[in-house]
Chains A and B, each alone.
Chain A
């Protein structure tokens, strides 16, 4: 699975959009980009995933560049409850083990 690079930490003002970048320059054609988050010591929570096209759900939007070497997770209106570590994970779909390889992630702090 491709390696990802994320900033260690970011700040965002409450009510503003939070844009979390992820670099995955060695991504392969059959690998997806997934985002999970972990609010302090709770179980990780799935946010969104995509292959090529931009994706949006009730939680967030995922923007993947045309060359697929980087992506951005967008939380459109961040709240204090969005303070968490956000993990960008790249892996191929399916396989014999659906293991998720979590890196260090980005600690997003939403400030009042």
Chain B
């Protein structure tokens, strides 16, 4: 089944404790992206990747890092989480090019930073 998976789905952590949220897709998609969703602010893009080893900042990249060492995986790293990073996070992927509009989203990761 074609899908985007995220782990963990729920995470409670404390300020300053490094964490990684994994994202994996099994559709051989070139494009991957991370969004965060907050009440009243909608979905905002954090980082994106057009292909392996090609990443760039989205609208709200501060406090986050990403890497794209292989096509299927696009982990989101919070080196020193803070309470303002408490949010619902979504990973998305698409084939790119003319098929970029059909983006597949993961189930979400709900993060609480205390």
Q: Is the CB of B108 within 8 A of A94?
A: no
Report if A2 contacts B (CB, 8 A): no
Which residues from B are CB-within-8-Å of A46?
101-104
**Interface residues, chain A, with chain B CB atoms under 8 Å away:** 32, 34, 41-46, 49, 93-100, 102-104
Question: Which among A41, A94, A100 has the greatest number of chain B C-beta atoms within 10 A?
Answer: A100
Which residues from A are CB-within-8-Å of B58?
97, 99
Q: Is the CB of B108 within 8 A of A42?
A: yes
Residue of B nearest to A46 (CB): B102
Which label, helix, strand, loop or mixed, suits the secondary structure of the B interface?
strand
Q: Is the CB of A93 within 8 A of B98?
A: yes
Shortest distance from the beta carbon of B11 to any chain A beta carbon, whole Å: 15
**Interface residues, chain B, with chain A CB atoms under 8 Å away:** 4, 31, 33, 42-43, 45, 48, 50, 56, 58-59, 88, 90, 92, 94, 96-98, 100-108, 110
Which residues from B are CB-within-8-Å of A98?
31, 33, 48, 94, 96, 100-101, 103
Which of B43, B96, B97 meets A44, CB within 8 Å? B43
Shortest distance from the beta carbon of B54 to any chain A beta carbon, whole Å: 10
A43-B108, A49-B101 provided; 12 other pairs, C-beta below 8 A? A41-B108, A43-B92, A43-B105, A44-B92, A44-B103, A44-B105, A46-B102, A49-B102, A94-B98, A98-B101, A100-B103, A102-B42
CA distance A95 to B102 in the complex (A): 14
Shortest distance from the beta carbon of A92 to any chain B beta carbon, whole Å: 10
Known A-B contacts A44-B90, A98-B31, A98-B94; A34 and B101 likewise in contact (beta carbons under 8 Å): yes
Shortest distance from the beta carbon of A52 to any chain B beta carbon, whole Å: 15
Which of A41, A43, A49, A99 meets B4, CB within 8 Å? A43
